[in-house]
A and B are shown apart, each in its own frame.
Chain A
Amino acid sequence: MANENEILDNIANKEYEFGFVTDIEMDILPAGLNEDTIRYISEKKKEPAWLLEWRLKGFQAFRKQKLPEWQNFTLPSIDFQKISYYAAPRSKKKYNSLDEVDPELLATFEKLGIPLSEQKALAGVAVDAVFDSISVATTYKEKLKELGIIFCSFGEAVQEHPEIVQKYVGSVVPHSDNIFAALNAAVFSDGSFVYIPKGVRCPMELSTYFRINTENTGQFERTLIIADEGSYVSYLEGCTAPMRDENQLHAAVVELIALGNAEIKYSTVQNWYPGDKDGKGGIYNFVTKRGICKGANAKISWTQVETGSAITWKYPSVILQGDNSTGEFYSVAVTRNKQIADTGTKMHHIGRNTRSRIISKGISAGQGQNSYRGLVQIGAKADEARNFTQCDSLLIGDQCGAHTFPYIESKNNTATVEHEATTSKIGEDQIFYLNQRGIDSEKAIALIINGYAREVLNQLPMEFAVEAQKLLSITLEGSVG
């Protein structure tokens, strides 16, 4: 077995793959946050009055809220005035086709492994590419349109389908939900919008790729997905950012609405820049994700593979309102160096016979800190509700930490809630067994980790599963304990 220190050094020296910067002309709003910032963004996007009003309400709420103070979680102070709230690649007009997109932008996404030209694109995946504040391209749009599926940037949806946007925006994550959601409501620049009509099964994976490029900007996108009765959609998001010494803020909001018998599967592979080995730089990833199963038999499933960001703070949740509805949360979160991941989920059981399943796998290496924070709430009317939670933590190296804070609240005497959690060191005897069969420690760990995370990785669509598996192996390369 290789020397432990040598190997631990190795992880620290492992470079972030996606840390390059794209040199492109940008429209950047000077740093600062006040009502004028919001009016500027709204005007820039030619938004209707109701949306500006809603943004301003969000800003009011933001000013009243405090940063969360939680057990074993201290947020660094953030100077909200030093961030630029809008940055967009400079262009004369809206792109009508890919040919009009700046070749430098296309090259950037290609380098990230996200080719945007449809000839090269991954078969069966439609992509909305978001560069800093705005969406630059959406593939397969026309093909989807034939089925009545709307897949476009949020800005476009506001222009073309204002009635749907107005009906649903803020209906799951209100403008005053928490400080970051309020900030997002005030300054969100773009994001993706999806509407799947009644009874339609979306034939391809829909996907958004987020890229932060410009210095001192924050990214505040907003995603809204509505699955009408009996429809199905699988949605993926991926994200990267350049290596910079300053921390950058990413405060996104995702709202999912599943009507009766509809199903939404939302998968995330989060690989924002995590900062260097001393914890310098990296993205603050403070995201509010929530879905509602509005109708009976609806289903929302969150899957996430979290390997990036300096600090992650997110709890994809499901409100189980419809009878017999189902909520799922599958998560793998890896922290190393000085990364902090504070993640988990909330399952609000309101309807009868609602089901939820939570599988959370934390892996802490280096000086990384990993916390699971979860809530399972059974309301008085949620007869026969059921939850199963399994959260496991794996520790690699003696400098890291793993924490579990589950909250279980039940007001119903027909409910069943089961929570299990374990924390342990990576199995030395397992590594030895694999060694003895001729597998070196590095590969042995990768095998063990992938086995450990299997239950979650299996939830990802094929195209992403392979990538996520690779990402896990790379992230933990050299992490022998």
Chain B
Amino acid sequence: MNVLQEQTIPLYGRIVEKYSKLSTTAASQQARQSAFHRFQLLGFPTIKNEDWKYTNITRFLKDEYALEAPSAGAPAELSELLAKAAIPDLDCYGIVLVNGVWDGKIEGGELPKGIELHRVSDALSQPGDLFTNDNWGNLHFAALNAALYTDGLFIRVAANIVIEKPLHIVHVYTSDYNLMVQPRHLWIVDRNAQLSVIESTVSGLSGEVKIWVNNLTEIIVHNDAKLDHVNLQTAATGTRLVQQTIVHQKKQSLYNSYTFTLPGADLVRNDLQARLEEDHTETHLYGLYLTAGDQLVDNHTLVDHQKPHCFSNELYKGVLLERSTGVFNGKVYVHKDAQKTNAFQQNNNLVIGKKATIDSKPELEIFADDVKCSHGSTVGQFSEDALFYLRARGIGEATAKALLINAFAFDVTEKIKFPAVETYINQQISHHIPVNHAG
């Protein structure tokens, strides 16, 4: 299987070796095995795979990566990275995962009753399989993760429990040598419970060191439950971030996702799948990607309408600076049984950089008739009229452009329900839109 990849991609051999040496519990043995076979079958994606048509990862696979993380112990630059991820004035519970491993500490006071947090490695030692089975379809990296994960974060909110303060999870990735880490998380929000999670991804790498993060997060939002999920991706150059999030939504549940990707990481690939497995669910997916340098940022989303009377709304916006490339692929799939579906999707792109590229593919696949679905995609620049209006009021061209970029992003940032987070993200954006970018 994949003899060619085995011969040409150094990482491939290491993966096979690691899998053969993996010590594992009997309960998870079978799931790992089938995931590993799935990965062997799929191999690493190439541009011949429709889902990777615009995202060529060959250049990132040329580097060698070790699969063993450095032994625990707080790295020297940790406090600096934590400062970068800190959201001023946010009243929250805070935890930190270093290379996918949680040290067990919680900031911001004791957790209220009804929410439990565990290391996945601890939960694994319990009898029974923690994770539900999935065949991983065409998710190459999710299959790889499911075969090789060793740790991550398990969260469960018990039925009818409302956790008022958000949980801020800071993922720190750091290494002195090229490394691939594969954290796997499972979050369960039980019936009628409510939780808000804010994730920050930061990395600190010295010199030419590269880190590949292959993250897999599974989320189950049970009947009448609600989850707000903010993702702040601010990892540094040298980082290759593949983040798969699979959300299972049950009856009348609500899931809100806000994904922000900022300049830094060489590669960001987000696969966000909302699987609407029962009726009357509501889903909002918001995204903003601000890309610069030679960045390649790819957002793939799937809203899988399996049952009737579900509502989904998606808005992703992109601002592409310098020589960066943005990819958006949003699929809305409406199954035959999913009558009375309302599904909306919008992708807008502002191409600023002379050498910037955008590839956008919004898709609708609809097999039910009593539906209202729409999508839209635009690629453009500043409105000349808007620019002129601002200039006619004495605002310089560069400032006017910066104002308009912020206004463009505003549609997404204003959706965040925590003012401190909104302020934080707006500051991040302003920080990356200095006047000279816009000129």
Interface residues of A, Cβ cutoff 8 Å to B: 71-72, 378, 393, 395-425, 481
Contact = CB atoms under 8 A, between A and B. Distances in A.
Given A413-B354, A417-B377, A405 B359 contact: no
B359 A397 contact: no
Contacts of A414: 381
Given A404-B364, A407-B361, A424-B371, A413 B376 contact: no
Contacts of B360: 408, 419
Contacts of A415: 351, 379-380
B398 to A, nearest CB: 16
B377 A402 contact: no
A416 B375 CA distance: 17
Given A397-B369, A401-B367, A417-B380, 6 more contacts: A395-B369, A403-B366, A405-B361, A409-B359, A410-B349, A419-B376
Contacts of B354: 413
Contacts of B336: 398
Contacts of B43: none
A364 to B, nearest CB: 8
A5 to B, nearest CB: 15
Contact of B361 (A398, A403, A408, A418): A408
Most buried by A among B367, B369, B377: B369
Contact of B369 (A72, A398, A403): A398
For this complex, into which size category does the number of interface residues on chain B fall? Answer: 35 or more
A385 to B, nearest CB: 10
Given A408-B361, A413-B351, A413-B353, A419 B367 contact: no
B64 interface: no
B362 interface: yes
Interface string B363-396: 1111111111111111111000000000000000
B364 A421 contact: yes
B369 A406 contact: no
Contacts, number: 111
A481 B369 contact: yes
A417 B374 contact: no
B357 A411 contact: yes
A413 B352 contact: yes
Interface of B: 50, 54, 336, 339, 349, 351-354, 356-381
A397 B359 CA distance: 34
In the A-B complex, list the 4 residue pairs whose CB atoms are closest, starting with the nearest: A395-B369, A417-B379, A408-B360, A404-B364
A410 B366 contact: no
A406 B362 contact: yes
Given A410-B357, A416-B381, A421 B366 contact: no
B250 to A, nearest CB: 25
Contacts of B374: 420-423
28 contacts: A393-B364, A398-B339, A398-B369, A398-B370, A399-B369, A402-B366, A403-B365, A407-B359, A407-B361, A409-B358, A409-B359, A410-B349, A410-B351, A413-B351, A415-B351, A416-B378, A416-B380, A417-B378, A417-B379, A417-B380, A418-B377, A418-B378, A419-B360, A419-B378, A421-B362, A421-B375, A422-B374, A481-B369
B422 to A, nearest CB: 28
Contacts of B361: 405-408
A416 B351 CA distance: 9
A9 B157 CA distance: 52
A421 to B, nearest CB: 5
B366 A401 contact: yes
Contacts of A425: 369-371
B377 A395 contact: no
B350 to A, nearest CB: 9
Given A408-B360, A410-B357, A421 B370 contact: no
Given A413-B354, A416-B381, A419-B378, A424 B363 contact: no
A410 to B, nearest CB: 5
Contact of A408 (B50, B356, B377): B377
Contacts of A407: 359, 361
A424 B363 CA distance: 15
A421 B376 contact: yes
A393 B377 contact: no
A271 B418 CA distance: 58
A359 to B, nearest CB: 15
Contacts of A419: 360, 362, 375-378
A283 to B, nearest CB: 25
A72 B370 contact: no
A393 B366 contact: yes
A405 B366 CA distance: 11
Contact of B364 (A400, A403, A417): A403
B371 A395 contact: yes
A378 to B, nearest CB: 8
Nearest to B344: A422
B303 to A, nearest CB: 14
Nearest to A414: B381
A273 B381 CA distance: 47
A296 B351 CA distance: 26
Contacts of A413: 351-354, 356, 381
Nearest to B350: A413
Most buried by B among A409, A413, A481: A413
B358 A408 contact: yes
